[in-house]
Amino acid sequence: MSPLDDIPVEIANHILGFVPTSDLLNLCLTKRLLREVAEPFLYSTIRLERQYDQLWDYIDNVYMDGSGFLGHSFRELDLNSVDIPVEQCLDAIKKTKVPYTDWWIAKLNSSETSLEALYAIFLAGLSNLKRLALTQHFINGRELIGKVIQSKALGGFGLPRLEQLREVGYYKGCDKVRNKNNKIFPDVISLFYLPSLTSIEAWIPNPPVFEWPAGEPNLDHLTSLDITRLSEDNLAKILALTRNLKLLTWTWSCDETDDPGNTMELNFENIIERLSLVRGTLEELRIRLEILPSIDPDFKAELNVTGSLAGLAGFRELTYLEVPFISLTGFGDTPLPIEDGVPPIVKTLALSDDLLLNDAVRWQQPYFEDFDIGYAPAVAIDNHIEALCDNIPTQLPLLRELVFFADDSFAPIFERVDFDATMAMYPDDGFNMRVSTRYNY
């Protein structure tokens, strides 16, 4: 395993910024994960050709990906040496009739922000999109791009509205260095007004007060939702408007930024209550927990946990369930039986190692007296897994796959559990058991 696999992307990007181009090319050829980190540093020239506006009508799939925040802004352009069709660009901006055209033109005329203005022109002209993905670098600190997205989603100006857009990815991630870049709630919430939207994956920060900018949207067409960062209370404002939601992925997240939703209070009972809004339609549910690494040495991530997700047993339409292992056992002194929190018709149960070694998990503390990270808690977990397997035939008769996601590279507990021995005890019970990662699943 490469050391770059184990460090935050911001630090990896900072390191790669000093690597010669020839070495970056060799790095891309070693493995896929390293290529994804190193490849963005190989390209320094972008050529924009905009001669046939009508070609925009034929674009139905746009994926604009850019990774990393720290020290890597859009490159400055030497406007005197780059062949930019300035008059065409100015004409395109003025035709939008948005109230921020002067600001847009000023960005176009600045070497520091001209690329953002050009990307915004490209996005503004799209009319027949069916899929759109904007990630990280194209969102973080790009207020103009966010404004254009708002204008196209809400309508009312000279921009073609995205009437046919069905799938959207709008994922920025947290900028822990520049908190102001995280204030993108108005941009991303406007996407819910798109009339044909069926699926959205988004990083949504918590606003001081959750308000729909143009009244409550009609979300009857929304069937898949993947939300990171938004608190369960604010998530409920969206869930309450859905009528046909089938797939939900929600990542509870906290860090040291000034997000109004930042809290070390993890209330599973409240989460169950909010998710109950889609109890009757939901077929697949993924819940993830993360505490982001801190750049502040004084930041203390001390969780206060209430309850468990055992109430999910009442979600009788669920056939796929992915939750943290400790969300079903609870954090108390005595762990709860895992199977008691799983709906009886579930066919795939995936248990992750999210926060598995957090100090708030009290039932694990006796196993850390002789601290051997990985092996000691694996003994406790092994016992719970065997108890779960004992009860699968009677309590989860439809279960066909039991997956353990081992994503904690610093303490891969699940990799220490003897699954082969456990599986050998249940050879004919009709389900498969394996260890994987979310990335490879």
Comparing 201 with 376, the larger pLDDT belongs to: 201
270 assigned to some structural domain: no
276 assigned to some structural domain: no
Comparing 377 with 223, the larger pLDDT belongs to: 223
Reported confidence tier of residue 260, pLDDT bands at 50, 70, 90: confident
Same domain, 23 and 126: no
CA–CA distances in Å: residue 378 to residues 154, 419, 422: 51, 11, 13
Same domain, 228 and 138: yes
275 assigned to some structural domain: no
How many CB atoms within 10 Å of residue 440?
6
Instruction: Read off the amino acid at residue 244.
Output: N
What's the CA gap between 282 and 126, in Å, rounded?
Answer: 33
Reported confidence tier of residue 3, pLDDT bands at 50, 70, 90: low
User: Is 329 in contact with 294 (CB distance < 8 Å)?
Assistant: no
205, two tokens: 């920060």
Instruction: Provide mean pLDDT across the span 71-77.
Output: 49
The answer to whether residue 221 scores a pLDDT higher than 80 is yes
Same domain, 162 and 72: yes
Structure confidence at residue 18 (pLDDT):
75
Boundary (domain end) residue, out of 263, 280, 304: 263
Full domain range(s) for residue 40: 1-44
Structure confidence at residue 16 (pLDDT):
75
- CA angle 346/348/351 to nearest 5° reads 110
The answer to whether residue 357 scores a pLDDT higher than 60 is yes
92 assigned to some structural domain: yes
Same domain, 222 and 297: no
Q: What three-state secondary structure class fits 269? A: helix
277 assigned to some structural domain: no
Same domain, 77 and 198: yes
Q: Is 420 exposed, middle or buried (0-12, 13-18, 19+ CB in 10 A)?
A: exposed
272 assigned to some structural domain: no
Same domain, 246 and 354: no
Give the containing element (helix H, strand E) for 321: strand 320-324
Phi-psi region of 8 (alpha: psi -120 to 50; beta: other; left: phi over 0): beta
Phi-psi region of 26 (alpha: psi -120 to 50; beta: other; left: phi over 0): alpha
User: Is 333 in contact with 297 (CB distance < 8 Å)?
Assistant: no
User: Is 361 in contact with 331 (CB distance < 8 Å)?
Assistant: yes
Instruction: Provide mean pLDDT across the span 405-415.
Output: 69
Reported confidence tier of residue 71, pLDDT bands at 50, 70, 90: very low
What's the CA gap between 186 and 211, in Å, rounded?
Answer: 9
- CA angle 107/150/212 to nearest 5° reads 140
What's the CA gap between 419 and 436, in Å, rounded?
Answer: 12
User: Any idea which residue has 């390209």 for tokens?
Assistant: 43
CA–CA distances in Å: residue 334 to residues 366, 376, 384, 385: 11, 17, 12, 15
Same domain, 1 and 126: no
Structure confidence at residue 295 (pLDDT):
60
Same domain, 420 and 294: yes
Structure confidence at residue 299 (pLDDT):
59
Comparing 145 with 10, the larger pLDDT belongs to: 145
Same domain, 91 and 185: yes
Number of domains in the chain: 3
Of 229, 248, 225, the C-alpha closest to 291 is 229
Reported confidence tier of residue 402, pLDDT bands at 50, 70, 90: very high
Same domain, 66 and 9: no
Structure confidence at residue 317 (pLDDT):
96
* CATH for 17: 1.20.1280
Same domain, 82 and 202: yes
139 assigned to some structural domain: yes
Instruction: Provide mean pLDDT across the span 268-296.
Output: 90
Q: What confidence tens digit (pLDDT) does each residue in 85-124 have?
A: 888 899 999 999 999 999 999 999 988 888 899 999 999 9
CA–CA distances in Å: residue 93 to residues 58, 85, 101, 152: 21, 12, 6, 14
What's the CA gap between 291 and 301, in Å, rounded?
Answer: 7
Q: What confidence tens digit (pLDDT) does each residue in 15-58 have?
A: 777 777 777 777 777 777 777 777 777 765 545 555 555 677 88
Same domain, 380 and 251: no
268 assigned to some structural domain: no
The values of phi and psi at residue 364, to 5°, are -90, -15
- Sign, Cα dihedral of 425, 429, 430, 433: negative
